[in-house]
Every structure is written in structure tokens, then in C-alpha cells.
Amino acid sequence: MVSIGNRPLLWHIMSIYSRFGFHDFVVCLGYKGYVIKEYFANYLLHNSDVTMDLATGSVEVHRANAEPWKVTLIDTGMETMTGGRLRQALRFVEGDEAFFLTYGDGLGNIDVARLLDFHKSHGRLATLTAVQPGPRFGSMEIEGGVITQFAEKAPASAGWVNGGFFVLSPSISAYLTDDSTIWEREPLETLAKEHELMAYEHRGFWHPMDTVRDRDYLDQLSSSPVPPWMA
């Protein structure tokens, strides 16, 4: 719920999916989950023109300015790990061929429609979006104490990391034991060993929000006519 351009980060993440026509969301709640519930409970009120009849308690909406989203909010526990939260959410995707999964701490201009097509094309249980984040610091080359090359913004690293945008088959439930399951450990490690985990390589914009510096950077980018995660 950290604000990026006067909107919660969660709203920006959901908007990435919504621009490709995916409007049905399940949000796993833990610490301060009530804040997210209150945000969506009052969403229409805050984004519409309304008349409130104080005598009867009725509310008439004149102009609704809200996205066509269906949002299911589930309390998954204060101490539940990522795999445990995913396990509890699976009941809402029963019968689906595949579903999306992402975290609440990063933004990217992922073409989630192409991501889904890629997942369906290979037939494995899981697809992970791989990204190449740029280093947080510039680089220097030093020879005998003399700086021979200086780059304030070093090029992106060659390594791929988990960008947090997944497509999964509901069958991954077999890899989720209980609330203590950490999705990034045994489940993903086992899926990789069994060759059931594929990588969708994303070379566009992606940035995590792990620090105040990250938050300030994303907030600055949000003032663009089209933020890079929506480009």
C-alpha cells in the first residue's frame, strides 16, 4: 500500500494485468491486511460522484470512475510463508488451466498476454519471468590506484533473476505442503529439478521496490505521461 504517484503500489501492479484484459484478482493478506480491505471497500466512494442521504443512509452513485476489477481479499495469516499463502489461494482458481502469480513489491512492463501464451506453448507446470536488473551502483576500473574508467550508470548485469511474474498450473498444489512452505525454496527448486519450470525472458523495464530509494525512484517515474511499467 506504499504510495507511488498518489496510488498504492498494489494498484499499479493490478493495472499492469488490467491493461491486457485480466480483471479478476485474489489478494493474499497478512500484516495490516485490514488496510487493503478498507481501501477497496471505499474505492468506489473515493472515485465517484455521489449523493448521500443522511436520513436514510442511502448512497446514489452519479459517475463511477473505477476499474472493472473483481477483487477477492483473503486472510492468509500473519506468519504464513509465500508458498502457504499461494496454497490457500488455490481454491479460487480450481478448474482453471492456468493462473498468474506475482508479488507486491515490483513493477515492470511485462506483456502478460504473451507471458500466458508462452506458458501454454511449453506445457510445463510453471513459468517464471526472468529479468536482468541493472546494478545499484556505478562501476570503476582501477589500475595502480589510477581510475582508468568510470561509469556512473553501469550496464545491466549479465545474470538473470526472478522478476516475480509467474504463470502456474493449479497442479503446483502438490508442491505446497503447508503454511510454512516458502515458494522460492523447495517448490521452485523441485520444479526446476524436474524440468517443470520455464523462463520467460523479459528485457524491458523492471524495477523492485525494496528500499526508500526505490520508492522515490518509482514515484518520480510515475509522473511521466506514461510510466515505464505501462509503456
Please tell me the predicted confidence (pLDDT) of residue 209. 94
For residues 133 and 156, is the Cβ–Cβ distance under 8 A? yes
Q: Distance between CA atoms of 52 and 60, rounded to whole angstroms? A: 6
Domain boundaries along the sequence of the chain? 3-230
Q: Between 55 and 139, whose confidence is greater? A: 55
Q: What is residue 127's three-state secondary structure?
A: strand
| Mean pLDDT along residues 90-101 | 96
Q: What is the CATH number of domain 3-230?
A: 3.90.550.10
pLDDT band at 187 (very low <50, low <70, confident <90, very high): very high
Question: Residue 138 — very low, low, confident or very high, per pLDDT cuts 50/70/90?
Answer: low
The pLDDT score that the predictor gives to residue 201 is 93
Please report, rounded to a whole number, the percentage of residues in the chain having pLDDT higher than 90: 79
- Lookup: cell for 92: 479460487
Buried b (16+ CB within 10 A) or exposed e, 162-184: ebbbbbbbbebeebbeeeebebe
- DSSP per position, 95-156: T-S-EEEE-SSEEE---HHHHHHHHHHH--SEEEEEE-PPPSS-EEEEETTEEEEEESSPPP
Q: Which residue stretches of the chain are H helix?
A: 9-18, 33-41, 43-46, 82-89, 112-122, 186-193, 212-221
Using 50, 70 and 90 to split pLDDT, how confident is the model at 222? very high
Q: Tell whether the model's pLDDT for residue 221 goes beyond 90.
A: yes
Residues 32-51 have a mean pLDDT of: 92
pLDDT at 59 (0 to 100): 86
Q: Specify the pLDDT at position 65.
A: 83
pLDDT score, position 85: 98
Here the cell at position 125 is 507446470
Residue 34, pLDDT above cutoff 80: yes
Average pLDDT, the chain: 91
Q: What is the pLDDT of residue 61?
A: 85
Give the integer Cα–Cα distance in Å for 23 and 140: 46
Q: Which residue has the cell 477483487?
A: 71
pLDDT > 70? residue 35: yes
The 10s digit of each residue's pLDDT in 10-22 is 999 999 999 999 9
* Identity of the amino acid at 99: F
Grid cell listed for 123: 506445457
Q: What are the two backbone dihedrals, phi and then psi, of residue 85, each rounded to the nearest 5 degrees?
A: -65, -45
Q: Tell me: the pLDDT tens digits for 141-172?
A: 657 655 456 566 555 555 789 999 999 999 99
63 confidence band (pLDDT: 50, 70, 90): confident
Q: Read off the pTM.
A: 0.88
The predicted pLDDT at position 190 comes to: 95
